[in-house]
Amino acid sequence: DVKVTQSSRYLVKRTGEKVFLECVQDMDHENMFWYRQDPGLGLRLIYFSYDVKMKEKGDIPEGYSVSREKKERFSLILESASTNQTSMYLCASSPLGRGGNQPQHFGDGTRLSIL
């Protein structure tokens, strides 16, 4: 089975801090994704990556950046955390497929609170 591991289940940080969320997948997948999940809004894509050192903006990239130095690891960075970034963050990975016909596999999520 595919395993997507997020480094923390729960995280509490302060406004203005630089926050790192880490995600590791063990199936040699090319694609990795970061979403945030908020009640009533579903999942919104922040950033995704198709390859090492490659990144693409999703629907809500403002206030975030990402890093993919190794194929198995995709990091989400909150440059200067703000209270409106309190949310559940989900990482996902998928293999390279034809036009998106491969499912995404999700980690258990990190519930981040910014005080």
Partner 1 sequence: AQSVTQLGSHVSVSEGALVLLRCNYSSSVPPYLFWYVQYPNQGLQLLLKYTTGATLVKGINGFEAEFKKSETSFHLTKPSAHMSDAAEYFCAVTGSNTGNQFYFGTGTSLTVIP
Whichever of 62 and 99 has its CB closer to partner 1, that residue is 99
The bridge status of strand 56-57 relative to strand 64-70 is: unpaired
| Min dist. Cβ of residue 54 to partner 1 (A) | 12
CA dihedral 52, 53, 57, 62 (to 10 degrees): 130
Whichever of 42 and 62 has its CB closer to partner 1, that residue is 42
The one-letter amino acid code at 26 reads D
The bridge status of strand 56-57 relative to strand 42-49 is: antiparallel
Whichever of 29 and 85 has its CB closer to partner 1, that residue is 29
Binding site for partner 1 (CB under 8 A): 4, 9, 31, 33, 40-43, 45, 48, 50, 58, 90, 92, 94, 96-109, 111
